[in-house]
Amino acid sequence: MPSTSSPEEQVIDKLITHLKQVSSNTLLGYSATGQEKDLNLPAILVQLESINEEQRQGQRAKYRMAFNISAVAKTNKDTTYTLLNLTRSIRELFNTGQRFTPEARNVSVSETQFDIAPSRAHLSFADLQLNIDVVL
């Protein structure tokens, strides 16, 4: 397990822990492409896309951390509902009015993009963008 010494790593670690309330099978920096046989499904895959400094005051700065979150399921007759329930649960996690970590200020979740595979041998995805404003 990597050291979580930097403030950014601590925020990411807390995000993953928070998302595990929806699915214990939540993985960071994992691409499902070509990994169908090695991935326990359904799963939540988290990828950090960017960190942008918004403003700075002395040693502290406000950053916007952007994540791509993918709910992944094997395609079957219930895939749409499985993905819909996973993404709804993810949205509900961030609409409680409480911070998942003290560093987080604002959290926004984009619309969900669904990609349902035409074959039962493939994976289907529901992707959403999660933006977190943090003060570090």
| Domain limits, the chain | 7-135
Tens of pLDDT, residue by residue over 69-117, are 999 999 999 999 999 999 999 999 999 888 999 999 999 999 999 999 9
Kindly report the backbone phi and psi dihedral angles of residue 12, in degrees, each rounded to the nearest multiple of 5, phi listed first.
-60, -45
* DSSP 8-state class, residue 69: E
> Residue type at 111?
E
Tens of pLDDT, residue by residue over 6-57, are 999 999 999 999 999 999 999 998 766 555 567 789 999 999 999 999 999 9
Give the integer Cα–Cα distance in Å for 115 and 104: 30
State yes or no: cis peptide before 102, omega within 30 of 0: no
Whether domain 7-135 has CATH 3.90.1300.10: the reply is no
Tens of pLDDT, residue by residue over 49-72, are 999 999 999 999 999 999 999 999
